[in-house]
Amino acid sequence: MTSSPPPPPPVSLEAAAEVARALGNAAFSRGAWSVAVDHYEAAALGNPKDARPRANAAAALLKIGRTREARAQAARAVELQPSWPKAHWRCAEVCEASGDAAGAARAFERAVELMEEATQGREKENATTAKMAKTTSRKEETSPCSFPKERRVAAAARLRAERESRVEEAASALDSRPRAREQMLVRERK
C-alpha cells in the first residue's frame, strides 16, 4: 500500500497577496495592463491594509485610460499609507492625467516633502547607528553581550538596507517623472 504525499502547507492571505502583486508587476512590465489590474485587485483583497497594490493598480489603470478608477485606487493608497511618497506620487500622476493641475501640484509637493523627510530621517538614523556602534564597542570591552558582534552588525546592516531600499524605491518613482518634478521645483522657486 502506497501512501499519498502530505498536503501542502496552508498559505496565508498575505502571502497569496504578495504573489498576486508580483504577478501584477510582471504583467505590468510586459504591458498587459488589464491583467496587471486584475492581479493588483486580487492582492488588495488578500491584504487590504497594503497600499502597494492600490498604487500599482492606479498606474495600470492610467495606462488603459480608466482615470476615474485610477483616482480611487491612488486615493485609497494615500489613505492606507499617508507617509508613503509613492502613494502621493501616484495621486499626482492621476491628477495630471485627468487635467487637475492644482491637485497634481499638491500631490507632487507632498511626495517630495515625504522624500526629504525620509532622507533626513535616514541621515539622522545613520548618525545614531554610528553612535550606537561606538557605544556598543565600548560595552564589549567591559561586559560580554549575549549576541555576537557579527550578528548585531549583520542585523543592523540588513535593517539599514531594507530602509534604504524603500527610500530608493520612492526616489526612483520621483526620478521617473522628471518633467513633473522640474515643474514642481520651478513652482517652489516662485
- pLDDT tens digits for the chain (190 residues)? 567 887 777 678 888 899 999 999 999 999 999 999 999 999 999 999 999 999 999 999 999 999 999 999 999 999 999 999 999 999 999 999 999 988 988 998 998 888 888 887 777 766 666 665 565 444 444 433 444 556 555 655 666 676 666 556 655 555 555 555 555 445 545 5
Residues of the chain by 3-state class (helix, strand, coil), percent to 5 = 80, 0, 20
- Nearest one of 68, 20, 11, 25 to 44, comparing CA atoms: 20
Q: Which stretches within 13-100 are classed as H helix?
A: 13-29, 33-46, 52-63, 67-80, 85-97
Residue 69's CB is within 10 A of a number of other CB atoms, namely 17
With beta carbons less than 8 A apart as the criterion, state whether 78 and 91 touch: yes
Classify residue 88 as left (phi > 0), alpha (psi -120 to 50) or beta.
alpha
The reported pTM is 0.62
Which three cell numbers, joined as nine digits, stand for 186?
520651478
